Structure 1
């Protein structure tokens, strides 16, 4: 790999969670799954209301089951990003400090136990947030990503260099 922009950082849970959310928002399946979970929750709440308020004998036990199912569906939709981020954070965080070098060919991440090179063909898109650059796979149904926290840059001006390098090499999602 040629000369590029270097980042040195340790994993922070908030950044991993943000990167996971960016990745999920960029996928079609996640938006569909989330809407389906919220829709199922709304249907369960509506069913509970019907059981309680339609003429006839109300069935509080059935209504309570519907409410619990609705809460489970809604909570599951919101907990998946957190649980995914937590799992990744434990794995990434156990490696200690990471060093990333990004150049015209791709990125190289080095930690205590790993040395990984990823070419731009694997991560051809990126999203910039206020705290990081999230590199994404080409397929919107894919799950691959890498993140580069801006706090890992030696100089704040390096964010502009990194952004320019990314703009030359891959596309902004």
Structure 2
């Protein structure tokens, strides 16, 4: 069986990425998504806040262990757990996408097309509200107020660094960068 990997939608300005989902890409994407959330939710998962809360728990235990045992331990546990949330969430996300195997993503003027052994999904730009970028990935965020992740594009899937630059230009044309 020959799988059409999206070549029929290629246009002159389209960029094609080809990759399999990896844990590090997913972890980077979840961290980026959490950092870009607005308001309290973005702050809740910030590593500096988690470390500060854990440190406050330690201080409470040192200063007055009898009076603050429960709250001190709870603050330490919460701080440590918040440091691991991105990694744990990313592991679940990667497992959910593992069955796709190799994916080819084509990004062009018409939108985004993802083709894998088990999916052929086309989405227009209206499906996305904004995008964010890290060293490893682009996240195309949904248009809802929270900007939940709608699509993760791994930069390592590009053939050349120039393709990553072209992809960034396409995204800048169609979406707001956050």
State the TM-score bracket (shorter-chain normalisation).
0.7 to 0.9
Matched, 1:14 2:24: yes
Task: Report the CA distance between 1:31 and its aligned residue.
Answer: 2.3
> Is 1:114 equivalent to 2:119 in the alignment?
yes
Q: For 2:171 and 2:108, how far apart are their aligned partners in 1?
A: 8
**Which of 30, 47, 51 is the matching residue for 2:41?**
30
Distance 1:160 1:47 in 2: 50
Query: Unmatched 5+ residue regions in structure 1?
Result: 53-58
> TM-score, normalised on structure 1?
0.81
Unaligned 5+ runs, structure 2: 1-8
Partner of 2:58: 45
Change over 3 Å in CA distance of 1:12–1:139 after alignment to 2: same
Candidates 82, 87, 92, aligned match of 2:92: 87
Distance in 2 between the 1:42 and 1:145 partners? 35
Distance (whole Å) between structure 1 residues aligned to residue 55 and residue 155 of structure 2: 39
- Tell me which structure has the larger Cα radius of gyration: 1
The number of residues matched between the two structures is: 165
The normalised TM-score by structure 2 is 0.79
